[in-house]
Structure formats: C-alpha cells, structure tokens
C-alpha cells in the first residue's frame, strides 16, 4: 500500500488567513494526487485532481501543487465556509489510499 | 447529475454479514468506458472521527478490485436491471463499524481520478 501522511493534523486560523496543508506519499506517485474537503455529516467533496487541477465549481482560492512524493493544498484567503477537514488521496494505484486528514478550525 | 443512495441495516451482529445496496439515479450503472475514460462503482468507509478506507470497486462488466486487507471478506456485485450495486462484508467485528459510502469514480484515459459522486453515507454499527 502507498501510505499518505498529512500535516498538520489540525490547525487554527482566522478568516482571511492563507493556509497550507501538506501531504507526503511513501513512494513517488507522480501527480496522481487528489484533495477533498469534508464537512461534518457529509461525504467528501473533490476539490483538486491530478495535484493541481481545480474541480469544476471549486473557488479559485483553492490551489494544489507538488509532484512525486510531496504535495501542498493552499487556501489563499480562508472563508467561513472553508472550516472543514481536508484529505489527500493517491490514485496512482488501484488501491486508493487517503491521508489521515487535516482539521481546519476557527481561531 | 448522478445521485447515489446507500441502503441497508444500520445494525449488524458480530460474526454476521453486512449487506448494503447503492441505488443510482439520473445515470445508468451500465455506463462504463466512454471515449474520455472509465467509470467505476466504489465503496469507501469511514469509522467515526477517523480517516477514509477504500473497500473496492466494480465496473460495468462486473470486474472487481478489492482492498487486500478486506479481500477475503468482501464481495461487490452489480445489478444493472435495478441500477444498483451492492456490498457484502462477512464475519464482521466491531472494527467494521463505520459510515459506508458508495460512489462513482471517473478515471480519464491517463488514469487520473478526475471526478466523483458520493452517496450521503450510511452508518453501520456492529454489535456483540
């Protein structure tokens, strides 16, 4: 299995802050990396695919970068609706694996 | 857009078999390969307060892939006539207590998972 490690596991930030979340794969996955947002009681929602491509309808304040083993999700200016948990996911292998999640909380 | 809805018992006794069905609407489960990629019908679970675990997937031909950690206990099947697909997980224990999601994953021709739809999820509790 490809292990995905996210950091931090949680962070506190204010509206308007720039926030970055990192994800590291246990082996190179090229850019087969997706980012999801999950709110309590809801299914995850795909934000970014192929490491940096924005899913249709997702605000441009979300961006992704990276390749190989190290990836970053950045929210340029945090809005109230962005407080949620974020997961990375590799789809390099048929066996999809996810990071442990980063909870973004209001400071 | 396609919609998915999980259904099945919310409580299963330990050592028994968990059975869930996902009903697909506004889209045919027989959709498979299109010129731009391939659809797969998947199951993913999430224990309370924890991360996501991919269980497995099936394509329109009935070809399956399973998580090796669950392979000996999992069966995913397709019923095109009902536009449904199903999950069976045998010999369950408390560790199988989770919210179970069904989903449709689209992989483009380069193999990137570029689009997906998820059901709302259903909580299954394994009791002793």
pLDDT, tens digit, for every residue of A66-85?
Answer: 999 999 999 999 999 999 99
Which residue, among A36, A41, A43, A54, would best test binding to B if mutated, counting the most B CBs under 10 Å from its CB? A43
Show residues of chain B in contact with A53, CB under 8 Å: 114
On the question of pLDDT at A17 being above 70, the answer is yes
Show residues of chain A in contact with B114, CB under 8 Å: 49-50, 53
Nearest by CB to A49, from B57, B68, B114: name it: B114
Q: Put residue B8 in one of left, alpha, beta given phi > 0 → left and psi -120 to 50 → alpha.
A: left
pLDDT at B33: 62
Q: Which two tokens stand for residue B121?
A: 């999820």
pLDDT, tens digit, for every residue of B65-87?
Answer: 999 999 999 999 999 999 999 99
Interval A43-53 mean pLDDT: 97
Show residues of chain B in contact with A32, CB under 8 Å: 111-113
Distance separating alpha carbons of residues B28 and B37, to the nearest angstrom: 16
B4, closest residue in chain A (CA to CA): A43
Whether cis (ω within 30° of 0) applies to the bond prior to A8 is yes
């Amino acid at each position: 299995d490809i292990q995905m490690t996210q950091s931090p596991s949680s962070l506190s930030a204010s509206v308007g802050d720039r926030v970055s979340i990192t994800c590291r794969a246990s082996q190179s996955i090229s850019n087969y990396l997706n980012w999801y947002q999950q709110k309590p009681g809801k299914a995850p929602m795909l934000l970014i695919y192929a490491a940096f491509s924005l899913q249709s309808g997702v605000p441009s304040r979300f961006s992704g970068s990276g390749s190989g083993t190290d990836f970053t999700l950045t929210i340029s200016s945090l809005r109230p609706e962005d407080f949620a948990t974020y997961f990375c996911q590799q789809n390099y292998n048929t066996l999809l694996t996810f990071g442990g999640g980063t909870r973004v909380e209001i400071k | 857009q396609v919609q998915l809805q999980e259904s099945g018992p919310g409580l299963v006794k330990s050592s028994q078999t968990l059975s869930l069905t996902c009903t697909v609407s506004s889209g045919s489960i027989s959709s498979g390969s299109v010129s731009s990629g391939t659809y797969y019908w998947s199951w993913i679970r999430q224990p309370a307060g924890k991360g996501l675990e991919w269980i497995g997937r099936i394509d329109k031909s009935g070809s399956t892939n399973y998580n090796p950690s669950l392979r000996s206990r999992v069966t995913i099947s397709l019923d095109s006539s009902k536009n449904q697909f199903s999950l069976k997980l045998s010999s369950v224990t408390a560790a199988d207590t989770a919210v179970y999601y069904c989903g449709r994953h689209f992989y483009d021709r380069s193999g990137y998972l570029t689009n997906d739809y998820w059901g709302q999820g259903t909580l299954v509790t394994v009791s002793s």
